[in-house]
């Protein structure tokens, strides 16, 4: 116990890019990924904007090297996880204890929805292979098999904090000398069920979302995958390139206030951030940038903002919600935004909070609205808060 955990590789796919380099270019151009629905067959097309990955199911499967009828969730996962593993380029990987900790919330539901279209019309129709990989764990198994990982694999599903918790858990496996290398993060694809469910909750914005704005009206759903390769001190010493940074702090809390809403006073958010700081041995003033959970809903942004005020007042670091670019990618969001947090340290950048206009009345701070480069960023906090009050904060620190 006590081994430092390093980030050795990164991989990401979302509505603003199919790899790390494309994401950095989109941020620099301040180019968001939201738009009209094009791939998902839904009654909400031309009504609700979403942040879809700009590739069809067939194109994603081909890029991943999977069968054409594979779940979109698995294809997204494999593309990002493979990029992260290739980026890490770990010598002698086969001889190391390697694991895959992956998160998602929809599993192969996109394929299941195809099955029920035919089955509801005629109980003798519908392709059963479309429901075979319905559950979340199947996505992890498919990708682990493609990556050749057999030592340890598990799936985490805690709503929107899922892939942050996957990274959290992976770090603990390394610190407790269970594994040497872990590919950790998460994936989620847009489905009818997800879109209909969030629409029923009345928290979707029919315009492009504006997180942390006084006049915010809801979130835009997105999809994608984000993974990082975490390694032990022993492995960090044999890498052919310097690790990106350390995962210095992490904490999960649960205020259990409501099934789908955050507590108004941000109890869970506050405890997650406070606990992550304590784990890292840092003070609030040491944090150089916060990647906000920042969904754009009235409840979430108010709760998160209240918690930040309680913990950081009166000195607030720069902060922004990158969901203003990618939409809310649900179970993938913690992994995607962890990748962005690491890139912020690596390249000295702070991302803009797009479409922000008016400070929230109850807060004494506002998010950054400009793309900033050349910043001295040593410590980044990444927040991921899920349904049921399941809240997780990660802290990444430079080497």
Identified catalytic residue from 136, 160, 209, 391: 160
> What six digits make up the tokens of 264?
């108004």
Judge whether 39 counts as a catalytic residue: no
> What six digits make up the tokens of 280?
């890292």
Exposed/middle/buried for 338, CB within 10 Å: 0-12, 13-18, 19+? buried
Q: How far apart are CA 156 and CA 151, in angstroms?
A: 17
Judge whether 328 counts as a catalytic residue: yes
Helices (H) and strands (E) in the chain, counts: 13, 10
Q: How far apart are CA 120 and CA 111, in angstroms?
A: 15
Identified catalytic residue from 23, 39, 293, 379: 293
> What six digits make up the tokens of 269?
């958010």
Judge whether 114 counts as a catalytic residue: no
Please check whether residue 331 is in contact with residue 186, taking contact to mean a CB–CB distance below 8 angstroms.
yes
Given CA atoms 20, 22, 26, 28 in this order, what sign does their dihedral have?
positive
User: Which own/partner contact pairs does 205-209 have at CB distance under 8 Å and 24+ positions apart?
Assistant: 205/49, 205/296, 206/47, 206/48, 206/49, 207/49, 208/32, 208/34, 208/49, 208/324, 208/354, 208/355, 209/34, 209/295, 209/296, 209/323, 209/324, 209/327, 209/328, 209/355
> What six digits make up the tokens of 381?
């906090």
For every residue of 109-131, DSSP letters joined together read HHHHHHHHHHHHH-TT-S-THHH
Identified catalytic residue from 23, 39, 328, 379: 328
The residue among 139, 127, 135 whose CA lies nearest residue 75 is 139
Q: Which residues are catalytic?
A: 160, 293, 328
């Amino acid at each position: 116990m006590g081994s430092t955990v390093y980030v050795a590789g990164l991989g990401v796919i979302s509505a603003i890019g199919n790899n790390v380099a494309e994401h950095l270019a989109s941020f620099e151009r301040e180019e968001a990924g939201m738009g009209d629905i094009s791939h998902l067959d839904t009654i909400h097309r031309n009504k609700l904007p979403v942040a879809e990955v700009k590739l069809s199911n067939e194109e994603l499967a081909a890029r991943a090297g999977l069968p054409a009828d594979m779940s979109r969730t698995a294809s997204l996962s494999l593309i990002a996880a493979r990029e992260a593993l290739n980026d890490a380029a770990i010598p002698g990987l086969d001889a190391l204890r390697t694991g895959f900790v992956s998160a998602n919330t929809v599993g192969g539901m996109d394929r299941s929805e195809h099955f029920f279209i035919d089955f509801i019309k005629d109980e003798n129709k519908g392709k059963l292979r479309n429901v075979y990989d319905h559950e979340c764990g199947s996505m992890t198994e498919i990708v682990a098999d493609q990556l050749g990982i057999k030592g340890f694999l598990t799936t985490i599903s805690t709503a929107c904090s899922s892939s942050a918790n996957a990274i959290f858990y992976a770090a603990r496996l390394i610190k407790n000398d269970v594994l040497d290398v872990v590919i950790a993060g998460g994936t989620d694809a847009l489905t009818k069920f997800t879109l209909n469910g969030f629409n029923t909750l009345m928290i979707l914005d029919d315009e492009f979302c504006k997180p942390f704005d006084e006049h915010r009206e809801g979130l835009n759903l997105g999809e994608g995958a984000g993974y990082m390769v975490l390694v032990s001190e022993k492995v960090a010493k044999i890498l052919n390139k310097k690790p990106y940074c350390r995962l210095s702090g992490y904490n999960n809390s649960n205020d259990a206030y409501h099934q789908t809403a955050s507590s108004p006073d941000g109890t869970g958010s506050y405890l997650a951030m406070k606990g992550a700081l304590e784990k890292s041995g840092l003070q609030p003033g040491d944090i150089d940038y916060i990647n906000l959970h920042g969904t754009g809903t009235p409840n979430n942004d108010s709760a998160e903002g209240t918690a930040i005020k309680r913990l950081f007042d009166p000195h607030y670091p720069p902060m922004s919600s990158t969901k203003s670019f990618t939409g809310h990618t649900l179970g993938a969001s913690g992994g995607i935004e962890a990748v962005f947090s690491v890139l912020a340290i690596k390249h000295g950048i702070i991302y803009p909070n797009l479409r922000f206009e008016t400070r929230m009345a109850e807060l004494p701070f506002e998010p950054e609205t400009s793309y900033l480069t050349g910043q001295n960023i040593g410590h980044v906090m990444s927040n991921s808060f899920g349904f049921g009050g399941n809240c997780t904060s990660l802290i990444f620190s430079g080497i």
